[in-house]
Structure 1
Amino acid sequence: MTRPLTGAELAAERRQSWLLEEERRARARGDQGRMEFWLRLTRSRIAKEIKADRRDVYAGFTLICRLFMTAMDKRAAGDQRLWNDLMQYAQKVVDQNPPRN
């Protein structure tokens, strides 16, 4: 027999369900919809990190953006290697860490 879920566990489960449902809706709007959803979510999470006085989130997000821009630039110049490596690594990390809270 399993025990009932605590309030925190129920909240986490509802949040997970909400994230998956919102991503499903965003996916229905295409890749741009998915991108806009995750950008909104990231912006919200960054604001919470700043309020919690974890300002290193600025440096982390800046580096991620610079990496992404570099990969796009190299791909546009004909070198797909960094882009492909970045996409493979990102997919692996995302698959191993599904969204929560």
Structure 2
Amino acid sequence: MTRPLSSVERSIKRRNDWLKEEERKAIQSRGETGRMEFWLRLTRSQISKEVKANRGDVVAGFTMVCRLFQLVMERRAAGDPRLFDHLMQYADTVLKQHGPRS
């Protein structure tokens, strides 16, 4: 027998369910491009909230992530897919450990 979820756990579950449903809708309407656009909109909104809360370092962090991804795409286009593969493996590992639960 399992215990009932606490209000915090219910809130997390509702948020995760909402994220999954919105991502599903985005994929259904626009495919992988829709999924990307959904996550970009969500990220932009969260960055704005972080800046308003005086945590502006999030802008520098996002900028670095964008620069990293740009570098990885350039290397792959030049014929070296290793960095792209490593980045994708790392991202997959982190999301499986810390991302929304199924």
- Same structural fold, with TM-score higher than 0.5 when normalized by the shorter chain: yes
Paired letter, 1:76: A
> 1:37, CA displacement in angstroms?
0.4
Alignment coverage as a number of residue pairs? 100
SS in 2 for 1:79: coil
Which structure 2 residue ranges, 5 or more long, are not aligned? none
TM-score computed with the length of structure 1 as normaliser: 0.87
Paired letter, 2:54: D
- Residue equivalent to 1:46: 47
> 1:9, CA displacement in angstroms?
3.6
Task: State the distance in 1 between where 2:47 and 2:54 align.
Answer: 11
- Residue equivalent to 1:61: 62
- Residue equivalent to 2:92: 91
Task: State the distance in 1 between where 2:81 and 2:42 align.
Answer: 28
SS in 1 for 2:73: helix
Task: State the distance in 2 between where 1:97 and 1:70 align.
Answer: 25
Return structure 1 stretches of 4+ with deviation > 2 angstroms: 1-13
> 1:8, CA displacement in angstroms?
3.8
Paired letter, 2:89: Q
TM-score computed with the length of structure 2 as normaliser: 0.86
SS in 2 for 1:45: helix
> 1:17, CA displacement in angstroms?
1.1
